[in-house]
Structure 1
Amino acid sequence: MIRSVLIVVILGLVAACSGVKLGYNSADKVLAWRLDDWFDLSDGLRQPARDRLHRVLAWHRREELPRYADILRSAERRLVDPAPLRAAELLALQQQVTGRLQVLGGRVADEFADVLVQFGPAQRRRLLARLDENNDEFREDYVDADAGAVRKRRIDRMVDRYQFWLGRLSPEQRIHLEQWVDARGTDAAWRLSLRQDRQRVFVGIVDEAARGKSSPQTALRLRAFFADLEAPSAPPVRARHEEGDQARAQLTADLFNMATPAQRDKARERLLRLAEDCLALAGQGAAS
């Protein structure tokens, strides 16, 4: 989906610190390809979609990257303090990130609504096909897979994530992470069901837009849809969302509190370099 594709590229760049600038500067080409791949854009839609994509990226570079830098520098300053990290502090930090994602979702909704109302059967078919492919991959990897393979995949993914910030985990940190994974088990079937529910809502927005909904109406529905991804309105979903956030924040606090001085220094260096890259990219946008 449009917002998901944008976030994968824009925020996924943080996964490779040394390549943030290169990745961000090529995001327009990557995203244009992904949009076409997901929606099979016709000649009449391709250029308008790219124009709006360029506007979103220019706005994001100019307005949002300095805010990301502020968040990153705030996190770095906290790591200077030797006091133990608390899950509540990490949840507050995550709330700031969530707020920025909600702003991004609103901007994407406003920019792309008038493209969405021009979608036809070809765009709907391609979207459904891509959603089915993604769901099949998720089902194969997490729902139908051997329990041991799923456990390993989850642990490997989380180890990679934390080692990006801390470097090689100690045996004690790894054991703690594995115990956390085992204690929580897997909720893959529920996650797949939630994915499919949200996909049906999005396809419904596409269908309503094609049936003659105006761009402002479509933008409002998209805004509500994107906002719900970050802060679910349905009580059962919201409760599980918040419980997962709390559990992950506690795990992160535990691993950082177990960190060696060298690991904390590495995390601080990562945060500072990412903040510097965000500001440099924002400055490039201002100069262009």
Structure 2
Amino acid sequence: MALLVLQGCSAIKLGYQQLPTLSYWWLDSTVSFNASQTTTTKQALEQLHQWHRSEELPAYADLLQRVQALSAGPVQTEQVCRVWAEVQIRLDVLMREAVAQAAPVAMALGPRQLSHIARRWERQNEEWEKEWLLGSASERLERRLDKTLERYRSFYGELTAAQISLVKAQLAQSPWTAEWGRQDRQRRQQDLLSALQGISQNKLSQTEAQAQLWGVWQRWLKPPEAEQRAVVQSLSQRACENLAQLHNAASPEQRQQATRRLRAYERDIQDLVNSRP
């Protein structure tokens, strides 16, 4: 599922090599760093990138190899969920290191930066609501369908009318709604902002700051509220079922195309591993 958000192969290598710079630009637009914070943040991003390239990319290549073998034939929902569980493990490993690098940056944030973050998120939320909440239920569904089909086509190529109907039915039956999405988005933002405010106001140590940021990540994945958590779990299970259904409805040619795309991703990652400094 995470792999479906990837685009062209050359973009993976080019984008990955530029990640520290691109990540800094994105963070600075959200936080508005001062000169000292800029230096600290760039160093943290570079260290995280070097660690990830040497320690994590080989595991990604191995996972892609196994997914290629899986994609050649029909799959079961449980197989897809096992792959997603492995992706989540890799994300946890990444976030452990990211939190360690981010803690000193978070400790240096002041009231001005925290206010800048809140205002930035307000503007982004307005744009999000325009995209996902405007229009009738059928219009919202069509927008979701367009984006979902775009990701699937990048793997399988053009889909048949029956396959498009299948994807549309899956989206219509999904427990996700734009209203729930907005609520969950705001929940995550407020959780992170509250943690950053606590780190700044209470002058927490680096170890304490790391614990706070790690707690945010865990709550993002597993909301403390039972109702929210149930929706997240249902969405994860449904995503495995949906992908298995579509893959099993794919023609041999479509599966071959998906396998070729996965193999190209693996080659790109192997190139990055072999060319690391």
Q: TM-score range by the shorter chain?
A: over 0.9
* Residues 166 and 110 of structure 1, relative CA distance in 2, 3 Å threshold: same
Bigger mean CA deviation after superposition, 223-232 or 194-203:
223-232
> Among residues 101, 112, 121, which one is paired with 2:111 in the alignment?
121
Structure 1 pair 12–93 and aligned structure 2 pair: CA distance change class (3 A) = closer
* Alpha-carbon displacement from aligned partner over 1:236-264 (angstroms, at most 9, x marks no partner): 22211111111121111111111111111
Please point out which of 172, 175, 181 is paired with 2:165.
175
Shift of 1:185: 6.8
Deviation at 1:200, TM superposition (A): 1.4
Give the Cα–Cα distance (whole angstroms) in 2 for the partners of residues 123 and 265 of structure 1. Answer: 49
Does residue 51 in structure 1 map to residue 43 in structure 2?
A: yes
Letter of the 1:242 counterpart: Q
Q: Is the 8 A contact 1:13 1:20 kept in 2?
A: no
Give 1:14-25 correspondences, 5 Å limit: 14-25=6-17
2:32 alignment partner in structure 1: 40
- Partners in 2 of 1:103 and 1:27 — Cα distance? 18
The partner residue of 2:271 within 253, 256, 280 is: 280
1:112–1:184: structure 2 CA closer, same or farther, 3 Å change rule? closer
Is the 8 Å Cα contact of residues 180 and 251 (structure 1) preserved in structure 2?
yes
Note if 1:62 corresponds to 2:46: no
Secondary structure, aligned partner of 1:15: coil
Question: In the comparison of the two structures, how many residue pairs are matched?
Answer: 275
Which residue, 149, 156, 166 being the options, matches 2:146? 156
| Contact kept? 1:143, 1:188, Cα under 8 Å | yes
Instruction: Supply the distance in 2 between the matched residues of 1:139 and 1:79 (Cα, whole angstroms).
Output: 36
1:176-255 matched pairs, under 5 angstroms: 176-184=166-174, 187-211=177-201, 212-255=203-246
TM-score scaled by length of structure 2:
0.94
CA contact (8 A) 2:32 2:113 kept: yes
Change (3 A) 1:269 1:14: same
Q: CA deviation at 1:229?
A: 2.1
**Cα displacement (A) at 1:16:** 2.4
Indicate if the aligned counterparts of 2:145 and 2:167 stay in contact, CA closer than 8 A: yes
2:66 to 68, 74, 89: 74
Cα distance change on mapping 1:19 and 1:89 into 2, 3 Å: same
CA distance in 2, matches of 1:14, 1:155: 18
CA distance in 2, matches of 1:23, 1:77: 26
- Structure 1 residue identity aligned to 2:156: L
1:28/1:57 contact within 8 Å kept: yes
Aligned equivalent of 1:263: 254
Tell me what 2:82 maps to: 92
Structure 1 length as normaliser, TM-score? Answer: 0.90
What is the SS of the residue equivalent to 1:169? Answer: coil
The answer to whether the Cα contact below 8 Å between 1:167 and 1:266 also exists between their aligned partners in 2 is yes
In structure 2, the CA distance between the partners of 1:65 and 1:20, relative to structure 1 (3 Å rule), is same
Of residues 133, 136, 145, the one that matches 2:135 is 145
Task: Determine what percentage of the aligned residue pairs are the same residue.
Answer: 25
Conserved? CA contact 1:72–1:272, under 8 Å? yes
- Judged with a 3 Å threshold, the aligned counterparts in structure 2 of structure 1 residues 100 and 186 are, in CA distance, closer, same or farther, namely closer
- Return the letter of the residue paired with 2:27: L
Q: 1:27 aligns with which of 15, 19, 25?
A: 19
Measure, in 1, the Cα distance between the counterparts of 2:189 and 2:71: 39
Tell me the equivalent position of 1:166: 156
**What are structure 2's unaligned runs of at least 5 residues?**
none
Deviation of the 1:47 alpha carbon: 0.7
| In structure 2, distance between residues paired with 1:182 and 1:27 | 36
**2:250 partner SS:** coil
Gaps of at least 5 residues in structure 1 are: 1-7
- AA paired with 2:252? P
CA distance in 2, matches of 1:183, 1:203: 33
CA offsets per residue over residues 83-103 of structure 1, 9 Å max, x none? x31111101100000111111
